A and B are shown apart, each in its own frame.
Chain A
Amino acid sequence: MLEIKNLHVSVEEDNKAILNGVDLTVNAGEVHAIMGPNGSGKSTLSYVLAGKDGYEVTDGSVTYMGKDLLEMAPDERAAEGVFLAFQYPIEIPGVATMQFLKVALNSQRLARGEGELSTPDFMRLVKSRAETLKVNQDMLKRPVNVGFSGGEKKRAEILQMAVLEPSLCILDETDSGLDIDALRVVAEGVNALRSPDRAMVVITHYQRLLDYIVPDHVHVLSKGRIVKSGGKELAQELEKDGYANYSDEAA
Chain B
Amino acid sequence: MADVETIERVREIEVDKYKYGFETELESELAPKGLNEDIVKFISAKKGEPDWMLEWRLEAYARWRQMTEPTWAKVDYPKIDFEDLYYYAAPKVQGDGPKSLDEVDPELLRTYEKLGIPLKEQEVLAGVEGARVAVDAVFDSVSVVTTFKEELAKAGVIFCPISEAVREHPELVKKYLGSVVPQADNFYAALNSAVFSDGSFVYIPEGVRCPMELSTYFRINEKNTGQFERTLIIADKGSYVSYLEGCTAPMRDENQLHAAVVELVALDDAEIKYSTVQNWYPGDSEGKGGIYNFVTKRADCRGHHSKVSWTQVETGSAITWKYPSCILRGDNSRGEFYSIAISNGKQQVDSGTKMIHLGKNSSSRIISKGIAAGRSDNTYRGLVSAHRKATNARNFTQCDSLLIGDRCGAHTVPYIEAKTSTAQFEHEATTSKISDDQMFYCQARGLNEEEAVALIVNGFVRDVIQQLPMEFMAETQRLIGISLEGSVG
Contact = CB atoms under 8 A, between A and B. Distances in A.
Bound together: yes
Given A102-B1, A103-B4, A92 B455 contact: yes
A94 B458 contact: yes
26 contacts: A50-B440, A52-B444, A53-B440, A73-B448, A74-B444, A75-B443, A75-B446, A75-B451, A78-B443, A78-B444, A78-B445, A79-B446, A86-B444, A93-B460, A94-B458, A94-B460, A95-B455, A102-B4, A104-B442, A104-B446, A104-B447, A106-B4, A107-B448, A108-B446, A119-B1, A160-B445
A122 to B, nearest CB: 9
A92 B455 CA distance: 9
A50 B441 CA distance: 10
Interface string B425-467: 0000000000111101111111110010001101111110000
Nearest to A111: B446
Interface residues of A, number: 37
A53 B436 contact: yes
Contacts of A105: 446
A105 B451 CA distance: 13
Contacts of B459: 92-95, 143
A110 B438 CA distance: 22
A92 B445 CA distance: 13
Contact of A75 (B436, B447, B458): B447
Question: Which of A77, A83, A99, A119 has the most CB atoms of chain B within a 10 A radius of its CB?
Answer: A99
Contacts of B435: 90
Contacts of A99: 1, 3
Interface in B124-170: none
Contacts of B4: 102-103, 106-107, 110, 116
A212 interface: no
Nearest to A74: B443
A107 B456 contact: no
A92 B442 contact: yes
A205 B212 CA distance: 62
Contacts of A95: 455-456, 458-459, 462
Contacts of A79: 446
Interface residues of B, number: 26
A51 B444 contact: yes
B183 to A, nearest CB: 42
A69 to B, nearest CB: 13
A51 B462 CA distance: 29
Contacts, number: 92
Contacts of B443: 51, 73-75, 78
A93 B438 CA distance: 10
Contact of A74 (B3, B437, B438, B440): B440
B432 to A, nearest CB: 9
Contacts of B462: 94-95
A186 B3 CA distance: 30
Contacts of A73: 443, 448
Contacts of B460: 93-94
B89 interface: no
Contacts of A19: none
Nearest to B8: A110
A84 B444 contact: yes
A104 B445 contact: yes
Interface string A94-129: 110001101111111011000010010000000000
A140 interface: no
Interface string A47-67: 000111110000000000000
B262 interface: no
A91 B444 CA distance: 14
A50 B444 contact: yes
B451 A86 contact: no
A89 interface: yes
B440 A103 contact: no
A75 B448 contact: yes
A52 B436 CA distance: 9
A164 interface: yes
Contacts of A74: 440, 443-444
A50 B442 CA distance: 12
Nearest to A112: B446
B232 interface: no
A95 B458 CA distance: 7
B450 to A, nearest CB: 10
Interface centre among A89, A95, A108 (most CB of B within 10 A): A95
Contacts of B451: 75, 103, 107
A104 B445 CA distance: 6
Nearest to A78: B446
Nearest to B456: A92
B440 A107 contact: no
B301 interface: no
Contacts of A107: 4, 7, 445-448, 451
A187 B143 CA distance: 65
Given A103-B455, A107-B446, 20 more contacts: A51-B443, A51-B444, A75-B444, A78-B444, A78-B445, A90-B435, A90-B440, A90-B441, A93-B459, A93-B460, A94-B459, A95-B456, A95-B462, A100-B455, A102-B1, A104-B446, A107-B4, A108-B445, A111-B446, A164-B445
Given A99-B1, A99-B3, A90 B446 contact: no
Contacts of B463: 94
A164 B446 contact: yes
Contacts of B455: 92, 95, 100, 103
- In this complex, which of B3, B435, B446, B461 has the most chain A Cβ atoms within 10 angstroms of its Cβ? B446
